[in-house]
Every structure is written in structure tokens, then in C-alpha cells.
């Protein structure tokens, strides 16, 4: 099934506030105001970089290249870090645009306007400019999404869980229309059904979810690193390069994105080949969950135990493991690693003061780390233990204050180092 439209393609680089691209003085004013609003976030960002050996450095990003690595300006001068030695730099931000475009590989693009042109979605924003994304790489479009991250995460999770073989437009009033998406204009979203086409006023549209069976299958093996931008966009980049104060970001579904260097606020390689292995990239040897009552909880990789994004202390984490008390997750190490590091916390989706757990790490059955009770709302605690020569590593989440009620525990950035 192919999506197409028979309408004039928008080719202007101007912006409008009603959903499509336009030109003219008003468009220029909107763009200028948007850039002004972003002025307090698009600036040189001094942030902490975590290296593969566990050390850190604080500096501004000077350049990033898929082959040459990243260069940072520190108090002691410039510092070059190969990407295979970089765990993470900076902190990702939440999307701020009135529109969020979700891509099939997990990327999210903040936008001021979107339009449909042939088989491409055209996105415009002050940070990425005007970019075309092949529709097969688009999962959904959110208009004025919830500001609370917990509500937004729930909405996104429900959309990504869809299996229906159709496109679906949901209105702010709760109505839904299914068919084939054939147009997005300044006035309406057009859906084609077997009997006829009809328009849904754009002002009424809350979400557009595209047919998941037609979406491009993400090629995570080809992905190089996550790149976070000042407007909250996060792109799973195949490659990056820096020239003339701009960063070029290549992505499987888009034309190359070109953004100001100062707009890059977060970098995280998908895999750190220089001696670091994320637990979420390994197959566990054993898993057991023993709830006090009710059904067993599965473990989750790179997600909270509920399936929502990993969140703690107001920030989102790309890598980690989600567990529910009381759980025990074991990995075979075969004596290949020297250290295990992670942050531990109750996920932000749990209201403050409710969930509480004890985190525990065992090597070959021996306890090498045990936390005091950690409760929802507490700051993440750092775990760094010696696992030299260990055959097995076990992560445990045990009951603390209130049985297993809302004990949604996160192992954030959980990784092994050689």
C-alpha cells in the first residue's frame, strides 16, 4: 500500500503556525520569534563526558566526526576522544516544539510545522530548518502533545504498540478516523477510505499514527550514535561530521540534517566498542521475579519495567535495565570484565514517596554492593564495583518499605568494562 497525494508541493522555506510551510512576512516573523525563544538554549554547552575507563571530563563540544571522534574544549585545552571510548556527553532534553514527529527507529524531531509532499513528510523548525523524511520512516505525528512527560510517554507507548494495518487520525475530542493518510494542509488532514476521502480540520487533530506494517524496519546495526539537540530532538545518526560551525547528521530516512554546533547538547554512541558493553546488549542467563501478589513482571531492556522510557531525576536515559521487585537478573561474564557501573533509582513514572527498593549486586553469589532503601523521588545513586575474574553477575531488586507496591527500579546506563 503506497501513500501519495495530488496536491501542490510546498517548496518555500518560510514557516507558518498552522501546520504547513509558507512564505511571506508573517512566516519570517514567526521564524524570527522562534529563533529568539530558542536563544536561551542554543548556545555553547559545557557538559560532562563519561569515558570508557570510567573517568570524566567537562568541556564544550568543538567538533564531532564518525571517524575522527569528538573534540572538547576543556580548562586544560582541547581533548580528542575517539567515539569508541566515549560513553556519553551532555544531557538529552525534552522536545519543546508544538509538534513532535516520531520515527520508526526511536528518533524524535521537534517541529513548528509539517506538511505532506508526495511520499515525504516535510518538517520545519528553527534548529533543523526544513527537512524531508520518507513517510515509511515516520511512526506518528503529535500535535500539542502533553507537557507532562509521564502523560506524553503513555501516549507515545500506546501509539508505538499499534498493530492495525491502517493510518489513524485521532482528534482532541476523542474521535478517531482510520484509512490512508493522503494529505496534510494548512486547513486539514485528509484521510482516504474505500468509499471516499474526507478532511479532519487541522485544529482538531491530536495525533496521526501511521500504519506500523508499512514502516521501515530500523537498522540499528548501521546506527552510530544518538544525537540530542537543544529543541529536544533526538536523532539516531548513522554518521556525523563538523564543518564551518555546523554539524551534519546523516539518518536513514532523511536528507542530511545540518544544525549549528551549539545546538548539539547530547551525544551517546549506540555501542562503545572500546572496552564497554551495556548489559542491555547482552542476553541474560537467568531471570526470576517473585511478586508478593499478582502476575510476574518481565525485565525490560533500554526501558522501564512498564515499557516507558527510562527516566530518573527529570532526565531520560537511552540505555539501561528496568526491573520490578523482587527480581534477580543474572549474566554470564566468563571472567572477561573488570568493573560494573550503573546509576540506580526508582523510575520517575512512580509518584514521589511511593515505590521503594533495595538494589543489590552479586558476583558469583557474593554480595559486592547493597544500597540503603531507595525511594521514588531520590536522586540516582552511583554503583561501581570490581568484577575482575567473576563468572557471573547478578542484579537484584528487593522489597523495602511497602512490599512491592510501585517498585519500578531502573539500572541506568548499566555497563561492564574490560
Are 180 and 1 in contact by the 8 Å Cβ rule? The answer is yes
In terms of domains, do 407 and 313 share one? yes
Check which CATH number belongs to the domain holding 324 and give it.
2.60.120.1060
| CB distance 46 to 58 below 8 Å | yes
Q: What are phi and psi of 238, to 5 degrees?
A: -80, -30
Domain housing 264: 46-92+219-269
Same domain, 31 and 54: no
Is residue 59 domain-shared with residue 115, that is, in the same domain?
no
Q: How many domains does the chain have?
A: 3
Strands (E), 119-275: 120-125, 129-134, 138-143, 167-171, 176-184, 188-192, 197-201, 205-209, 225-229, 234-237, 239-243, 246-250, 257-260, 264-269
- Nine cell digits for residue 67: 571517524
Q: According to the model, what pLDDT value does residue 221 have?
A: 66
Q: Tens digit of pLDDT for each residue in 290-302?
A: 988 888 999 999 9
Q: pLDDT for 102-156, tens place per residue?
A: 999 999 999 999 999 999 999 999 999 999 999 999 999 999 999 999 999 999 9
Please report which confidence band the pLDDT of residue 44 belongs to, taking 50, 70 and 90 as the band edges.
low
Label residue 294 exposed, middle or buried (CB < 10 Å: 0-12, 13-18, 19+): exposed
Rounded to whole angstroms, the Cα distance separating 409 from 398 reads 10
Same domain for 254 and 167, yes or no, is: no
179 three-state secondary structure: strand
DSSP string, 214-246: GSPPP-TTT--EEEEETTS-EEEESEEEEETTE
In a domain, 88, yes or no: yes
Residue found under cell 520517575: 348
With CA atoms as reference, report the closest residue to 132 among 141, 140, 143, 124: 124
| Same domain, yes or no: 253 and 327 | no
CATH at 155: 2.30.30.100
Between 13 and 202, where is the model more confident? 202
- pTM equals 0.87
What is the rounded average pLDDT of the residues 32-46?
49
Same domain, 99 and 190: yes
| 395 lies in the same domain as 349 | yes
pLDDT of 18 over the 70 cut = no
Q: Is residue 17 part of a domain?
A: no
Amino acid at each position: 500500500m503506497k501513500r501519495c497525494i495530488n496536491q501542490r508541493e510546498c517548496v518555500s522555506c518560510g514557516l507558518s503556525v498552522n501546520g504547513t510551510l509558507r512564505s511571506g512576512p508573517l512566516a519570517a516573523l514567526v521564524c524570527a520569534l522562534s529563533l529568539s525563544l530558542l536563544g536561551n538554549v542554543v548556545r555553547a554547552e559545557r557538559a560532562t563526558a563519561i569515558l570508557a575507563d570510567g573517568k570524566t571530563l567537562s568541556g564544550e563540544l568543538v567538533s564531532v566526526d564518525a571517524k575522527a571522534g569528538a573534540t572538547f574544549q576543556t580548562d586544560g585545552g582541547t581533548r580528542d576522544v575517539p567515539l569508541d571510548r566515549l560513553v556519553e556527553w551532555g544531557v538529552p532534553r525534552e522536545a519543546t516544539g508544538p509538534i513532535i514527529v516520531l520515527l520508526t527507529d526511536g528518533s524524535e524531531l521537534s517541529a513548528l510545522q509539517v506538511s505532506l509532499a508526495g511520499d515525504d513528510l516535510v518538517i520545519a523548525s528553527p534548529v533543523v530548518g526544513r527537512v524531508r523524511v520518507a513517510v515509511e520512516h515516520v511512526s506518528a505525528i503529535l500535535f500539542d502533545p502533553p507537557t507532562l512527560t509521564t502523560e506524553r510517554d503513555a501516549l507515545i507507548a500506546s501509539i508505538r504498540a499499534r498493530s492495525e494495518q491502517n493510518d489513524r487520525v485521532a482528534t482532541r475530542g476523542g474521535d478517531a478516523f482510520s484509512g490512508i493518510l493522503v494529505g496534510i494542509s494548512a486547513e486539514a488532514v485528509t484521510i482516504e477510505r474505500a468509499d471516499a476521502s474526507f478532511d479532519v480540520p487541522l485544529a482538531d487533530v491530536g495525533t496521526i499514527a501511521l500504519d506500523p506494517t508499512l514502516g521501515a524496519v530500523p537498522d540499528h546495526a548501521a546506527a552510530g550514535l544518538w544525537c540530542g539537540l537543544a529543541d529536544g530532538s533526538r536523532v539516531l545518526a548513522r554518521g556525523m561530521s563538523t564543518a564551518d560551525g555546523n554539524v551534519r547528521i546523516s539518518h536513514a530516512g532523511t536528507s542530511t540534517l545540518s544544525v549549528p554546533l551549539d545546538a548539539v547538547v547530547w551525544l551517546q554512541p549506540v555501542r562503545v566498542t572500546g572496552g564497554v558493553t551495556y548489559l542491555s546488549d547482552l542476553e541474560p542467563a537467568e531471570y526470576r521475579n517473585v511478586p508478593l501478589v499478582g502476575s510476574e513482571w518481565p525485565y525490560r531492556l533500554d526501558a522501564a519495567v512498564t515499557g516507558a522510557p527510562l527516566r530518573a531525576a527529570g532526565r531520560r536515559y537511552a540505555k539501561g535495565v528496568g526491573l520490578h521487585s523482587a527480581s534477580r537478573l543474572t549474566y554470564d561474564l566468563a571472567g572477561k570484565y573488570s568493573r560494573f557501573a550503573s546509576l540506580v533509582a526508582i523510575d520517575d513514572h512512580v509518584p514521589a514517596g511511593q515505590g521503594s527498593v533495595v538494589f543489590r549486586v552479586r558476583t558469583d553469589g557474593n554480595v559486592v554492593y547493597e544500597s540503603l532503601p531507595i525511594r521514588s523521588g531520590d536522586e540516582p545513586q552511583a554503583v561501581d564495583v570490581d568484577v575482575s575474574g567473576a563468572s557471573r553477575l547478578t542484579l537484584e531488586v528487593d522489597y523495602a518499605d511497602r512490599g512491592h507496591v510501585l517498585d519500578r527500579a531502573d539500572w541506568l546506563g548499566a555497563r561492564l568494562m574490560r
